[in-house]
Structure 1
Amino acid sequence: MSVGAPARSEGRDEIGAIPTYPSLGRAVTAFAFLLVAEFFYSFAWNSVDVLRPYIRDSLGLTLTEAGSGYSAQGAGALLGAIVIGQLADRFGRRNMLVAVMIGYGLSLLAGVAVDSYGQLLAQRFVLGLFMGGVFPIVVGIYVGLFPNNVRGKLASMINAVFGVAVIALGLAVRLLPVGEGTSWHVLLWIGGVPPILLSLLAYLIVPGTAETRNVAMRQPRRLPVLDLFRPGLALQTTMLAALMGLNFFAYQAFSGWLTTYLNDVRGLSSSAIGSLVAWTFAANIAGGFFWGWAGDRFGRRFNALGFFGGAASIAAYLLVPSDVRLLGPIGALYGFMLSASVIWGPWLTELYPAHLKSTAASIFNWGRVVSFFAPILTGSLASAVGLGAAMAVSSVIFILAGLLWLALPETHPRPRLPGRRVFGDHHADQS
């Protein structure tokens, strides 16, 4: 079966009917446009980290002030995911895709005019507000372009584009004259102008969501997010939010302290640390393709095995000697296992009706609330028991997250792991 054809009856996305999808050519073209939007979103998102030393120098900020730019951006993203995801379900995902592309492009360009700490926080918060809507919108669109048996592979491509954007940003810093004064502003222009110019092409390339809006019009006139907590869905939504929170906390508790740990505890050189981080990053991209395929082949809950593997690799990483030949492969295994969550975008949309797809996808970003507290809690614990022991907590949390994942519903018609299927339930995927 081609990916542009209707899904087989055992994998149908709509109760009592086989869903229809755009032609394969149009679906592929639209998805390619989404990849472009995702690239510039990723470029803008990571600019707060990659450009941090230049922002700090040009504004005369302390380390804490420079780092808080990310916190402002993350807070904006959390709010944006909730608000913009609902607007996308109510007024059309294509319309909101155009709006957020223009929004994050202009907001990134506004960084050129920032000349104080307060302005930096405001600019990054507004930028995060628009960028928080990208994930729920993009996922909500591409699950309507292709049947459920290829959506994991699509999610892995989105994951890879995020990594490519980070690499491109890093290369741009090396190749362009951004080391003095405000010369780094050129990177804001490179990242901000293209999405603004390309945004209106969405109306020509991306199919509309009129059928989704028709479904929404038949629903009660209330906030879509409230439907996530209606009877029959409230427990599922709460469990999903907890799963996302555990994932973000565990990631921050280990990855957030990794370079500090390698430097302060292991005593490794900067070149060795850079090499180890590169191993982890590259393996994460490669793992995304495996876990995307696995989620399509064996079921969304199958990927929970990745969290158990990640927990084991964290324990091994903290226990082996300070030998790059050992830490490198184990770190790569951790990065590979961590990308198991790549399937969450499609899975979240498949667990809810059509008029809630983007709102449901926004649940992913709800977990960021928990991650805000991870550095504080693990830092306090590290002062009492040591950094390595504090980071080991992430291993336990990944195990808890994996168990919670296995307790949630399955949307695959023939899952490899036993568990409840939701096709045929009242809240099954209704593309």
Structure 2
Amino acid sequence: MSSSAAVEREPIIARASAAAEPDAGNYPPTIRAVLAFAFLLVAEFFYGWAWNTVDVLRPWLRDSLHLTLTQAGSGYSAQGAGALIGAIVMGQLADRFGRRNMLVVVMIGYGLSLIAGVAVQSYAHYLAQRFVLGLFMGGIFPIVVGIYTGLFRSNVGGRLASLINAVFSSSIVMLGLASGWLAGHDWQLLLWIGGVPPVLLSVIAWFAIPASSDGGGPTRSGTKLPILELFRPGLRKQTLLLAALTGLNFFSYQAYSGWLTTYLRDIRGLSAVTIGDLVAWQFAANIIGGFVWGWAGDRLGRRFNALGFLAAGLAIGVYLAVPSHPLWLGVIGAVYGFMLSASVIWGPWLTELYPSHLKSTAASIFNWGRIVSFFAPLITGALADRFGLGLSMGVSAVTFAIAGLIWLSLPETHPRPFLGRGRVKR
């Protein structure tokens, strides 16, 4: 990048170390990197399965524990609260003590915590189990992003993120289909299916992840807590806006997708098999969208994908208004799923906005938004009790639009973006 690049008043905010210097970094041999990334995809699949049981299995869990709509939704709030704390703690531990080590810890933790769900017998137990599960799952995103951005050059970061997104969405597709087949008989079997494999596979991380991408060590500023670097002068505003963006994303998703299976069963009157198919269609489109948005983020800039959030809000409004025909619901749901995956670029983007020694800590901002989102089920559940589930879900259309506008206001790290100049600094 030439010295004529635009100079920003706030250092590092405009820093795009990866996008501006795509050949920088000590990358492992290609075969080694591909094998390590393949292992990360396995960890991501079971993480996606575990995370989404709180939504996909909500109708059956609600029936088994005799919960109200608000109580059923608060399971996500407990899980989100745990993920917020887990992201902050696990991300920093990964940057200080090694990402491989912490990947093993969180895989064992979320596997055992998911299995513990079979022992839940009360509302209090449910909240506790989901909180502990969230603690471990909150660490997956910052750890995985911190590792794979150290395996390959950043000019393919969006496409790598799209593969991660595809595996995550595939896990939801499989969970949706499995819930249609098994939930009416023994939904707890789905907890065993998702929990046992990551525990058994976790030890492979020490052999699969190369040391060059592991991280670990003191922060460059000498601070004991890496997170403090994200709030130093020149970075504070950016960090807070990113947290607000991720918060609105999670709020919007939970306000709509979190209630989707409940809405389709209780309001639209559809069968479990049809509901499972609709969930599968939506996330199949999310997989396709992830590849498109990943490519777009690499070629057109990280802010370009904000357009997907604006379109997702529009799709939600249409979905809630169309007739209860599986074809209509499937098509509009697929459009929503496609647009939702615009955020696939966030992992690489977050690491590009901050110094490289803070990769996992910076990526943990993705989960900070849960401090906002874990109120979503409580708010939308209360609105649903008073005004109806459809109207409460419609709130997400507005919050997605607000999130899109915030995204467009944030720094760009691509040297030649489609939407405005790249705010790049050497």
TM surpasses 0.5: yes
Moved more, 227-236 or 305-314: 305-314
Partner of 2:231: 229
Partner of 1:213: 216
Q: Offset at 1:69? A: 3.5
| Long gaps (5+) in structure 1 | 1-9, 425-431
Preserved CA contact (<8 Å) 2:82 2:133 = yes
Residue 78 of structure 1, aligned match among 78, 81, 84: 84
Q: 1:36 aligned to 2:38?
A: no
The amino acid across from 2:404 in the alignment is G
Distance in 2, matches of 1:389 and 1:56, equals 21
Q: Offset at 1:93? A: 0.9
Structure 1 residues 355 and 14: CA distance shift in structure 2, 3 A: farther
Q: Offset at 1:341? A: 0.6
The amino acid across from 2:338 in the alignment is F
Preserved CA contact (<8 Å) 2:28 2:151 = yes
Partner of 2:345: 343
Distance in 2, matches of 1:334 and 1:210, equals 35
Partner of 1:199: 202
SS of the equivalent of 1:202 reads helix
Partner of 1:332: 334
Partner of 2:8: none
Preserved CA contact (<8 Å) 1:351 1:422 = no
SS of the equivalent of 2:185 reads coil
SS of the equivalent of 1:179 reads helix
Partner of 2:67: 62
Q: 1:394 aligned to 2:396?
A: yes
Q: Offset at 1:290? A: 0.9
SS of the equivalent of 1:231 reads coil
Q: Offset at 1:395? A: 2.6
- What is the total number of aligned residue pairs between the two structures? 409
Moved more, 234-243 or 318-327: 318-327
Structure 1 residues 167 and 364: CA distance shift in structure 2, 3 A: same
Partner of 2:25: 19
Partner of 1:3: none
Partner of 1:406: 408
Preserved CA contact (<8 Å) 2:76 2:130 = yes
| Long gaps (5+) in structure 2 | 1-15
The amino acid across from 1:43 in the alignment is W
The equivalences for 1:256-405 within 5 A come to: 256-259=258-261, 267=268, 269-270=270-271, 275-320=277-322, 324-379=326-381, 388-405=390-407
Please give the per-residue CA displacement for 1:398-431, whole angstroms capped at 9, x wherever unaligned.
222112111111111221211442342xxxxxxx
Structure 1 residues 47 and 422: CA distance shift in structure 2, 3 A: same
Q: Offset at 1:50? A: 4.6
Structure 1 residues 96 and 401: CA distance shift in structure 2, 3 A: same
Q: Offset at 1:357? A: 1.1
Q: Percent identity?
A: 67
TM (normalized to structure 1)? 0.83
The amino acid across from 2:115 in the alignment is L
Distance in 2, matches of 1:260 and 1:193, equals 27
Distance in 2, matches of 1:394 and 1:413, equals 33
Partner of 2:168: 162
Distance in 2, matches of 1:327 and 1:188, equals 28
Distance in 1, matches of 2:377 and 2:62, equals 21
Distance in 2, matches of 1:381 and 1:16, equals 48
Structure 1 residues 221 and 42: CA distance shift in structure 2, 3 A: same
Q: Offset at 1:386? A: 6.1
Q: 1:255 aligned to 2:257?
A: yes
Residue 137 of structure 2, aligned match among 126, 131, 138: 131
Moved more, 234-243 or 282-291: 282-291
Moved more, 91-100 or 247-256: 247-256
Preserved CA contact (<8 Å) 1:92 1:209 = no
Q: Offset at 1:223? A: 1.3
Moved more, 231-240 or 323-332: 323-332
Distance in 2, matches of 1:332 and 1:149, equals 28
Structure 1 residues 194 and 322: CA distance shift in structure 2, 3 A: closer
Distance in 2, matches of 1:12 and 1:52, equals 40
Distance in 2, matches of 1:285 and 1:390, equals 27
Please give the per-residue CA displacement for 1:194-218, whole angstroms capped at 9, x wherever unaligned.
322322222211012588435x343
Moved more, 224-233 or 409-418: 409-418
SS of the equivalent of 2:419 reads coil
Distance in 2, matches of 1:353 and 1:78, equals 22
TM (normalized to structure 2)? 0.84
Structure 1 residues 83 and 399: CA distance shift in structure 2, 3 A: same
